[in-house]
Structure 1
Amino acid sequence: MTIFRRTLLLLSASSVSLATPLAVRAQTAPGGSEGFTGKIAVKRADSVPAFPRRPEAPRSAPNVVVILLDDVGFGATSTFGGLARTPNLDTLARDGVRYNRFNTTAICSPTRAALLTGRNQHQVGFGNLQDIAAGFPAYNTIWKKETASIARILHDNGYSTAAIGKWHNTPQWEISSAGPFDRWPTGLGFDHFYGFMSGEDDQWEPHLFDNTTPVESPQKAAPGYHLTSDLVDHALRWVDEHDALAAAKPYFLYFATGAAHQPHNPPAEWIARNKGRFDGGWDRYREEAFARQKRLGVIPANAQLTPRPEGLPAWDSLTPDQKKLYARQMEVYSAFVEHTDAEVGRLIQEVRSRPGGQNTLIFYIVGDNGGSAEGGLDGSIANEAASGTGGQVGVAAQLAQLDKFGGPDVANHYAAGWAWATTTPFQWMKQVASHFGGTRNPLIVSWPGHTDAPSAVRGQFGHVNDIAPTILDAAGIALPDTVDGVKQIPFEGRSLVPTFTNAAAPEAHREQYFEIFGNRAIYRDGWVAAARRPYLPWKLIESGLSVYTSDPATDRWELYHVDQDYSEANDLAAKEPAKLAELKAEFEKEGLRNGVFPLLPAPVGAPSLYDKNATRFAYQAGIGQLPRNALPDLSGRAHRFEVDIKGDAATGSGVLLAEGGRLGGFTLYVKQGRLVFENNAYGQAHQTVVSDAALPSGPLTVAYEYAPDQPSAKGALFNPSVPGTVTLYVNGKQVAAGPVGKFLTAVGAYSEGFDIGLDRGSLVSGDPAGQARYTQPLGEVRLLLK
């Protein structure tokens, strides 16, 4: 007799052995089965089974793909007049509809928060970047439960959901294996996540998560690896698995590249295709792009080209060396955009060719803000934190490594002049939410059979918070009143669906405020009032906390009639004081309603993964890839690391501990029996301190101690790297000492972490001994702050 038949007999016997039947229960059953629609009785014959009904999407609801690029200005791509050749984007634009008055928030995390919720970024908790949270609800980076994501709403209405690529919307202190995970993508409505959690990452050797689990560096297993290609491959694999396992359900795919954020890492063959294309410089770029924009019809015929901002040099004023360097920087950036176009084009073509591909609604947002000036006036070959920690280098040092641009040995970023050029025809760039150079990005929407008359450019004012309500409108799904019992606040965005087939549809989004770092503006019915802060966007990190000290009340307000002045070229503040006063009052009202005030909340006092009052920390052997904020920032700070070796120290070799990666950090390792400390300054200089004798036999304790030459400067967002002395110890006895310059920890590479026994991320050291797993058992590791 089979187990199945025996079970049926037992169940049957049980159902007839009770003499007194109980009342039939429906709807609610024991064991927490609320919502049960069958019947439960003592007798099986009187019972009716019923499984919970899964949510179903409305009939014919489309698949939805949202594509978001990073740090690509309005005038960067050929589709909108730029020099980067984007044939796949051109094709999508011809088949879909183009929007030329669509706006983001001017910087990464806030744009993504507004995009994924349909609310204003301050309402979600992202009035600022994830990296610099402040202690007010609108700025604390804690995603508000009353602003459920579009992924969660679609999931609850029968969609499969996935987020692939850049996230940047989880509190810094929750990005670790300790969780909590409710504000990771998989806790906010996405069935699956594959990507990186920080604001920037390496294209060659990224730091990825599969849902909430760190992924071993894919580059080590696949030479020639590139992140954008990997993300496309993973997205298509997810779509194929969805089609194989849940073909009856529509899907929502959020695909956010790391491109074209710094570091600019395109494959070398793409760089070669751009050689010599930018020798004319950024002033000529602006003029030529402006002319092309008018020919393409993506800006009005009466638009004006705005002048170069004060502080950016004219191209003709530069030295030959500067021109050579800056032109090369833009060749690499253009190549990065072009490679991205090819890979995202591959994604779109493959999705369209799959079952249901013609009923797939695609939103392609070409940038989450304007071009980035965060490389500084000269550009950079170190990462974004470099300008605040001492890693910036000038023209000569960059020229010496020109042939490495785009590759893994540098984290190159273009000069600020190119950020301005790629926002043609507008003023300013990323961070500057007061002007369209920071907020105006192209949008293309394609939905076969639903986006008719594609040749007509859509000129209705739009905002990134319009995407979520547009998706629900297209799918026939209503915004729920509550999610998990929490009442939802209404959408701030408006549906773009009426504009899909009618270029003359009335403007639905009639008012929108903007604010980032105190740069602020408000749009209402064709007018914009704007106030820009006095700091320059290419000096944000370098300026440190001083950005937060000047009084916003002293900022000068400007006024533009953008219905007639597309590029904000003519300031009417002096001519229209009443209109300016009206809009300033409206900004204050909207600011109070959305939690924008106080302006410029300083990023201090955020929760931490470590005890900020502690001076002693202990770690057990074998842990690895602790996030950089799991330890204090040691740059320029006196400290001591001690490592207990439990095995035979005389025969051991390999990494004892490491923090950072190939673009900056330090490591302590053993090579040929000797203790070695290696300092990696932004990938540009490696310095070692080596013990004068081999380690003795048996268990022992080794240590290094760092003493800075001078105290750390105050007022920086990060501790600056400063020269100092590293001293090595064995069982408390000094065995070596030597100078190091620009000592820094993992802040020199945002996504790198701390490891014991093996350098698990990208490698701090170029020495094989500094890359290998330590060969003897290790005990406790202790960090002592001085």
Structure 2
Amino acid sequence: MALNEYEPGTSFPGVIGRTPDESVPAWPRPLRAREGSPNVLIVVLDDTGFGHLGCYGSPIRTPNLDRLAERGLRYNNMHTTALCSPSRSCILTGRNHHSNGMACVTEGATGYPGYNGMVPFENGLLSEMLLLHGYSTFLIGKYHLLPSHEETAAGPYTRWPLGRGFERFYGFLGGDTSQWHPDLVYDNHQVDPPRTPEEGYHLTEDLADRAIQFIADAKQIDPAKPFYLHFCPGATHAPHHVPADWADRYKGAFDEGWEVYRERVFARQKELGVVPQDAELSRHDPDVPEWSSLSDDQHRLYARMMEVFAGFLSHTDHQIGRVLDYLERTSELDNTIVMVISDNGASAEGGPTGTTNEAQFFNNAPEPFEDSLAVIDEIGGPDHFNHYPWGWTWAGNTPFRRWKRETYRGGSTDPFIVSWPRGISANGEVRHQYAHIIDIVPTVLDLIGITAPATIRGVTQSAIHGVSLADSLRNADAENRHRTQYFEMMGHRALYHDGWRAVCPWPGPSFAEAGKGFGEPIWSSTLSDLDAHAWELYHVDEDFAECHDVADENRDRLIALIATWYAEAGKYDVLPVDGSGLARFVGEKPLVAPPRDSYTFYPGTQSVPFFAGPRLLNRPHSISTAVTIGEASVEGVLLAQGTRAGGFSFFVKDRRLHYVHNWVGRHLFGVSSDVELEPGDHVLRFEFEPTGEPDLAHGHGMPGMFQLYVDGTLVGALDVPYTTPFAFNPGTLTCGADPGSTVTPEYAAPFRFTGTLEKVIVDLSGELIVDKDAELRIAMARQ
């Protein structure tokens, strides 16, 4: 006999008598999805350019994404915001990035509505919408939509994934992390990776495992319940980490250089129909050297960096394939709407020469070329934080100009694949309709057959800005529904309208032509001059890769488009136009706790992100603790921050007290006590006493004395010529252990302290010296 059910909030339809035999029960109807509702899988790649996937003309093998394209559709006119957090907010909300408070990445928030880094609750996420319709909701991988000051165990948790409609989360909260030793969060708490790299661990494989597990957990209980999986691997963002055998599959594949790569990819794109037959290849970028001008050793190193990247992408494709294979084995794939997008174009954050350790770049201590070449066979492994040079960035965005962070098409046009065998009959075709990532949410809702809610948890919802692409999915000749779209990223502006694209580059069309680099501020007089003279105009319906600036011949049209840009800017909280990088990253922001001179840490607690912890660099400080040493051998870390790429560790080994400072992965400055620790209670202390001024421009932080004390007696001292000038990245601080990639090779992770340790106190004094340019570089390198 079927249960008597009724809609929650309506009148009880049963009968309530004096006793059960006089009564008729009824139950509030459980929330169930409409019968036959499709699953939703959205895959968000990171820093993957238009010319990187095999089905978009690349020689990099991506067979699983290619098979999605064969069973579905590819778009060649999909646009992003050109940067990570802003794009990810659009993909999840269907609203423009400034309306989401995400003008920049969360670390670059400023005190204006469009810039504060806080997605408002009136802009509901797709997870919150589908949860209301009976879906299971999972987020796997990168989030990066949380104000940076809320990434700690102190919360608040209202903007964490579980606070925004995802029932389960497994991944990382920030912009990047090591693929070998990731900073993992499970739901609302930190966890250690289940294995070590030596045991075969890699983050992307772990993420695929968890995705399959989350789906299986739900389906075994309720097979008919649809799921929404937001799958966001850290790939292909730096560090480009991958097992060597995957990189080795591309040995020699890029020896002819980035110009040859572009030419071959462009020809293949025409064969595949993902670019028009009359399209032209954009110019050679002025910031990229000719491959032929480089030395043989540069060829060898830069080609290997690209081999590692290619292996990383193929490895990621393989893990995505494992998820697709599971869905196919369980007969779910045909009724799963699968969408694949990247958050922006390929990244130029490796600089003109690439790097084996980004920490060296933003500490003003770039490694000598000879040092990079010496570790060529280790690139992609656990000891490095590598990124290719920007010649490969330019090539990865073929056929477009420029790259991530800029609103030319190279930064803002990306692959977009849609597959849903049960709902879309066309397959293997290319769609040319104009699209923007704010169209993803309304398209999903349209395909499922539901409307956006008027309220979520009592909060009245704003209007969705995107439009549904459903017509174009079913009809290759469907009319363009998205006719106008503004762009702004750190002062770099653009506007699309009906086949025309106006672009106002900042600081210029290239760094070489501008004579200045990224992050220059825009003042009011500068903005007026830019509006009068710097806008370019491209008829992208006929000039696919923005090769021909026709501003002079179409002055009236350009003026109208500039006016439209300002109208859109007013509508979506784009103003004030802010071209600066430096000011927004170092400006004052809200803090969970006010600054203080004393910090207390406890063993067994969650690690503390670098920007939420005490700032020890370039200032006098001490680290002290009371411990109990037993008769048996006692060892382990008292306090450590950073990784093999740079950091410090205060620890006990061989019954002696030690302190090691790792300078950007290139030099270890260590001091050890000259006496053994006897059994009993002891007060252990480290002090840093500066002895001079830092040389920030050359990557040298303050010189000083490292001093170790046991029970108030000096037991070790070392005069060091310099220290780390700016930051450790990765830079989490841990009490009582050094998990993951250890600061020093003198011990193996996690090297937990085996004596009695209650707490560690860090005491600060003096003025903090910072390199603001370096602070900008580290924040942007995480995006």
- Provide TM-score, normalisation by structure 2: 0.90
- 1:749-768 to structure 2, matched below 5 A, reads 749-750=729-730, 752-768=731-747
| Distance in 2 of aligned mates of 1:467 and 1:560 | 26
1:85 pairs with 2:61: yes
- 1:23-38 to structure 2, matched below 5 A, reads 35=10, 37-38=12-13
Q: Secondary structure at the match of 1:703?
A: strand
Residue of structure 2 in register with 1:16 after alignment: none
Please report how far the alpha carbon of residue 248 of structure 1 lies from its aligned counterpart in structure 2 after TM superposition. 2.1
Residue of structure 1 in register with 2:588 after alignment: 605
| Distance in 2 of aligned mates of 1:664 and 1:209 | 23
Question: Given the alignment, which residue of 386, 393, 397 partners 1:419?
Answer: 393
Residue of structure 2 in register with 1:736 after alignment: 716
Matched letter for residue 407 of structure 1: G
Residue of structure 2 in register with 1:636 after alignment: 618
Moved more, 166-175 or 706-715: 706-715
1:671 pairs with 2:653: yes
Residue of structure 2 in register with 1:428 after alignment: 402
Residue of structure 2 in register with 1:9 after alignment: none
Please report how far the alpha carbon of residue 157 of structure 1 lies from its aligned counterpart in structure 2 after TM superposition. 0.8
1:157 pairs with 2:133: yes
Contact 1:558–1:571 (8 Å) recurs in 2: yes
Contact 1:98–1:444 (8 Å) recurs in 2: yes
Please report how far the alpha carbon of residue 40 of structure 1 lies from its aligned counterpart in structure 2 after TM superposition. 7.5
Please report how far the alpha carbon of residue 771 of structure 1 lies from its aligned counterpart in structure 2 after TM superposition. 4.7
1:374 pairs with 2:357: no
Matched letter for residue 594 of structure 1: Y
| Distance in 2 of aligned mates of 1:171 and 1:756 | 24
Moved more, 346-355 or 490-499: 346-355
- 1:309-458 to structure 2, matched below 5 A, reads 309-365=285-341, 367-383=342-358, 385-432=359-406, 434-458=407-431
| Distance in 1 of aligned mates of 2:644 and 2:19 | 67
Residue of structure 1 in register with 2:271 after alignment: 295
- Provide TM-score, normalisation by structure 1: 0.90
Q: Secondary structure at the match of 1:781?
A: strand
| Distance in 1 of aligned mates of 2:414 and 2:721 | 41
Contact 2:42–2:230 (8 Å) recurs in 1: yes
Residue 538 and residue 325 in structure 1: after superposition, are their counterparts in 2 closer, same or farther (change >3 A)? farther
Please report how far the alpha carbon of residue 220 of structure 1 lies from its aligned counterpart in structure 2 after TM superposition. 3.2
Residue of structure 1 in register with 2:507 after alignment: 534
Q: Secondary structure at the match of 1:101?
A: strand
1:503 pairs with 2:476: yes
| Distance in 1 of aligned mates of 2:285 and 2:457 | 49
Matched letter for residue 577 of structure 1: R
Residue of structure 2 in register with 1:14 after alignment: none
Contact 2:356–2:372 (8 Å) recurs in 1: yes
| Distance in 1 of aligned mates of 2:212 and 2:697 | 46
Q: Secondary structure at the match of 2:280?
A: coil
| Distance in 2 of aligned mates of 1:110 and 1:713 | 35
Contact 1:81–1:289 (8 Å) recurs in 2: yes
Contact 1:670–1:770 (8 Å) recurs in 2: no
Matched letter for residue 418 of structure 1: W
Contact 1:58–1:477 (8 Å) recurs in 2: no
Matched letter for residue 572 of structure 2: N
Q: CA deviation digits over 1:708-752, x for unaligned, max 9?
A: 565568999xx98555442222333333222446634994223x4
Residue of structure 1 in register with 2:546 after alignment: 568
1:252 pairs with 2:234: no
Matched letter for residue 360 of structure 1: T
Q: Secondary structure at the match of 2:414?
A: coil
Q: CA deviation digits over 1:474-506, x for unaligned, max 9?
A: 111001111122221111111111111211100
Residue 415 and residue 453 in structure 1: after superposition, are their counterparts in 2 closer, same or farther (change >3 A)? same
| Distance in 1 of aligned mates of 2:462 and 2:668 | 53
| Distance in 2 of aligned mates of 1:554 and 1:707 | 50
Residue of structure 2 in register with 1:775 after alignment: 754
Matched letter for residue 394 of structure 1: P
| Distance in 1 of aligned mates of 2:729 and 2:228 | 32
Residue 781 and residue 455 in structure 1: after superposition, are their counterparts in 2 closer, same or farther (change >3 A)? closer
Residue 518 and residue 722 in structure 1: after superposition, are their counterparts in 2 closer, same or farther (change >3 A)? farther
Residue of structure 2 in register with 1:558 after alignment: 536
Moved more, 462-471 or 173-182: 173-182
1:61 pairs with 2:43: no
Q: CA deviation digits over 1:65-94, x for unaligned, max 9?
A: 111111110001221112211122222111
Matched letter for residue 82 of structure 1: S
Q: CA deviation digits over 1:594-617, x for unaligned, max 9?
A: 1111122723212234422x2222
Aligned residues: 749
1:277 pairs with 2:253: yes
Matched letter for residue 397 of structure 1: D
| Distance in 1 of aligned mates of 2:751 and 2:697 | 38
Please report how far the alpha carbon of residue 56 of structure 1 lies from its aligned counterpart in structure 2 after TM superposition. 2.7
| Distance in 1 of aligned mates of 2:536 and 2:757 | 63
Matched letter for residue 441 of structure 1: D
Matched letter for residue 557 of structure 1: W
Residue 780 and residue 227 in structure 1: after superposition, are their counterparts in 2 closer, same or farther (change >3 A)? closer
| Distance in 2 of aligned mates of 1:237 and 1:740 | 50
Residue of structure 1 in register with 2:155 after alignment: 179
| Distance in 2 of aligned mates of 1:126 and 1:345 | 31
| Distance in 2 of aligned mates of 1:278 and 1:500 | 36
Contact 1:75–1:289 (8 Å) recurs in 2: yes
Residue 753 and residue 293 in structure 1: after superposition, are their counterparts in 2 closer, same or farther (change >3 A)? same
Residue of structure 2 in register with 1:520 after alignment: 493
| Distance in 1 of aligned mates of 2:523 and 2:171 | 36
Q: CA deviation digits over 1:322-360, x for unaligned, max 9?
A: 111111110110111111112212211221331333111
Residue 743 and residue 545 in structure 1: after superposition, are their counterparts in 2 closer, same or farther (change >3 A)? farther
Residue of structure 2 in register with 1:577 after alignment: 555
Q: Secondary structure at the match of 1:358?
A: helix
Matched letter for residue 736 of structure 1: G
Contact 1:653–1:769 (8 Å) recurs in 2: no
Segments of 5+ residues of structure 1 without an aligned counterpart are 1-25
Contact 2:138–2:228 (8 Å) recurs in 1: yes
Matched letter for residue 506 of structure 2: R
Q: CA deviation digits over 1:417-470, x for unaligned, max 9?
A: 1001100111100111x2010011011111114323324310011111111101
Segments of 5+ residues of structure 2 without an aligned counterpart are 766-783
Please report how far the alpha carbon of residue 691 of structure 1 lies from its aligned counterpart in structure 2 after TM superposition. 2.1
Please report how far the alpha carbon of residue 543 of structure 1 lies from its aligned counterpart in structure 2 after TM superposition. 6.8
1:486 pairs with 2:462: no
Question: Given the alignment, which residue of 16, 28, 51 partners 1:52?
Answer: 28
Please report how far the alpha carbon of residue 111 of structure 1 lies from its aligned counterpart in structure 2 after TM superposition. 0.9
Question: Given the alignment, which residue of 745, 759, 764 partners 1:785?
Answer: 764
1:592 pairs with 2:570: yes
Q: CA deviation digits over 1:204-241, x for unaligned, max 9?
A: 12121111121113233971111111111111111112
Residue 586 and residue 745 in structure 1: after superposition, are their counterparts in 2 closer, same or farther (change >3 A)? same
| Distance in 2 of aligned mates of 1:558 and 1:698 | 74
Q: Secondary structure at the match of 1:457?
A: strand
Residue 707 and residue 140 in structure 1: after superposition, are their counterparts in 2 closer, same or farther (change >3 A)? farther
| Distance in 2 of aligned mates of 1:711 and 1:650 | 43
Question: Given the alignment, which residue of 465, 468, 488 partners 2:438?
Answer: 465
Residue of structure 2 in register with 1:235 after alignment: 211
Contact 1:610–1:631 (8 Å) recurs in 2: no
Matched letter for residue 377 of structure 1: P
Q: Secondary structure at the match of 2:495?
A: strand
Matched letter for residue 78 of structure 2: F
- 1:68-79 to structure 2, matched below 5 A, reads 68-79=44-55
